[in-house]
């Protein structure tokens, strides 16, 4: 924990036919430049541990993998329940389980 603002990158996807041409590096570089220009303390994102090409790419850009953090998610009916709402009353059933909550 750094206690400073930063940028969190939700998704990075480069079309397969454009991979290996520097597009991913350019995208990361632009966000890193924004962090530096705005005085932000970090640039973070998540990657699935089985995505070995992505892990290798991120490491090659200087990223450290923080093995002591685990991503948590609450969505669908569990999100409504935590918010104190009844999923059935909102008509959220199978849709919420698929992650398409209205």
User: Do residues 80 and 92 lie in contact, with contact meaning Cβ atoms separated by under 8 Å?
Assistant: yes
23-40 pLDDT tens trace: 999 999 999 999 999 999
* Residue 57 scores a pLDDT above 70: yes
The parent domain of residue 87 ranges over 72-102
Could you say which DSSP state residue 55 is in? H
Terminal-to-terminal C-alpha distance of the chain: 33
In this prediction, residue 71 carries a pLDDT of 83
Q: Are residues 11 and 51 in the same domain?
A: yes
Indicate the number of domains in the chain: 2
Q: What torsion, rounded to 10 degrees, do the Cα atoms 30, 35, 39, 44 define?
A: -170
Q: From its phi and psi, is residue 39 left (phi > 0), alpha (psi between -120 and 50) or beta?
A: left
Examine the domain organization and report whether 81 and 37 are in the same domain: no
Residue 33's CATH number: 3.40.630.30
pLDDT tier for residue 102 given thresholds of 50, 70 and 90: very low
Q: pLDDT digits over 59-101, tens only?
A: 999 999 998 888 888 988 888 888 998 877 777 665 545 555 5
pTM, to two decimals: 0.71
Domain membership flag for residue 13:
yes
């Amino acid at each position: 924990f750094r206690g400073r603002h930063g940028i969190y990158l939700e998704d990075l996807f480069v079309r397969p036919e454009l991979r290996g041409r520097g597009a991913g590096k350019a995208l990361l570089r632009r966000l890193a430049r924004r962090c530096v220009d705005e005085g932000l303390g970090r640039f973070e994102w998540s990657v699935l541990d089985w995505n070995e090409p992505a892990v290798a790419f991120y490491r090659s850009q200087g990223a450290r993998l923080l093995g002591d953090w685990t991503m948590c998610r609450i969505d669908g009916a569990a999100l409504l329940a935590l918010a104190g709402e009844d999923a059935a009353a909102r008509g959220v059933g199978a849709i919420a389980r698929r992650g398409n909550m209205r």
